[in-house]
Amino acid sequence: MSDARDEFDLALKPTWCPGCGDFGILSAVKDALTTLAISPHEALVVSGIGCGSKLPDYMHANGFMTLHGRPLAVATGAKLANHALHVIVVDGDGDAYGIGGNHFIHTVRRNPDITHIVEDNQIYALTKGQYSPTTPQGKVTTTSPEGAIERPVNPVALALAMGATFVARGFAGEPHHLSGLIQLAIRHPGYALVDVLQPCVVFNRAQSYDWYRQRIYKLEETGHDARDPAAAGTVAREWEERIPIGVIYAEEGVPAYEAQLPALQPGPLTARAGPSATRFEQLIARFR
């Protein structure tokens, strides 16, 4: 990992439990931005509500904590208004695939240039352990005392089915590898999903660091062709015995949503609706 993350560091210490996978994800986000030479004022980190959604509080960049399940809508608006901003959504699996599931599906097929990092701990952690859309079938939780009945959502397969142009999976226990995936996702000119296996050491002790380490393997070490939709579909369905991490699918040449909107052809709103340089100087002088 690069050491030059000071720009994004804050004195505020995260309130996450010791050992929470969200620490590794925060570290990877900061490292990815630093490695890409993106400055704090050039990045907007948008979240929902949840343990993982506290992340924008813990780094020095533009941040927006929205409503539970709504960060993709806010992020899309921000990207439409200011194309130059690197817009990164960070939220939990409940936020992204449960209450925000409809936004997820339609953002994927809309393809705005947004990076979506999902802290997938397979549980609602902030509200103390209810089962979530990615909770394994049969798992006993506070709201499934006899075991979760539904089949879990497979987020990477769902994203592929909706026409996602970039789909990856990372592991919070490998922040260096995760940083590489986030860098690729940020550089991808369209919607990019990075689903992150995130151990919650309090409410989901079964899917622990060791559980993942015994199962994960890296796609880039297998010769997987991320440009091949059929190969992507096959690895996206792998789970339990072997769990792939890395870039599952990457498609080039699909224009981003904001590049196709007729109303934005004269340029983004920030280039058209803001005060002129003179007016801006006058305003600054007035409040100096």
Ligand X SMILES: Cc1ncc(C[n+]2csc(CCOP(=O)(O)OP(=O)(O)O)c2C)c(N)n1
Residues of the shown chain interacting with ligand SF4 in the complex, contacts defined by CB under 6 A: 16-17, 20, 22, 51, 121, 125, 200-203
Nearer to ligand X, 90 or 235 (CB): 90
Query: Closer to ligand X at the Cβ: 94 or 175?
Result: 94
50 scored as a contact of ligand X (CB under 6 A):
yes
Q: What is the widest separation between alpha-carbon atoms in the chain?
A: 66
Residue closest to 264 by CA, chosen among 75, 87, 81: 81
CB-nearer residue toward ligand X: 68 or 79? 68
Provide the H-helix boundaries in the chain.
Answer: 22-35, 71-81, 93, 101-110, 155-161, 175-187, 209-213, 229-236, 257-260, 269-272, 277-287
- Cβ at position 155, least distance to ligand X in Å: 12
Other Cβ atoms closer than 10 A to 70: 18
Contact window for ligand X (CB under 6 A) among 5-13, 115-123, 208-216, 239-247: 115-123
Smallest gap from Cβ 116 to ligand SF4, in A, equals 18
Selected from 124, 171, 212, 257, the binder of ligand X by CB under 6 A is: 124
Q: Which is nearer to ligand X, 46 or 123 (CB)?
A: 123
Partner whose footprint covers residue 113, from ligand SF4, ligand X, none (CB < 5 to 8 Å by kind): none
Minimum CB distance to ligand X smaller for 124 or for 191: 124
Binding partner at 135 among ligand SF4, ligand X, none, C-beta below 5 to 8 Å by kind: none
Residue with tokens 């990207």: 79
- Work out the number of other CB atoms within 10 angstroms of the CB of residue 248: 27
SS3 179: helix
Does residue 124 sit in helix, strand or coil? strand
Contact status: 123 vs ligand X (CB under 6 A)? yes
Q: Is 270 left (phi over 0), alpha (psi -120 to 50) or beta?
A: alpha
Contact residues for ligand X (CB under 6 A)? 49-52, 68, 91-95, 119, 121, 123-127, 132
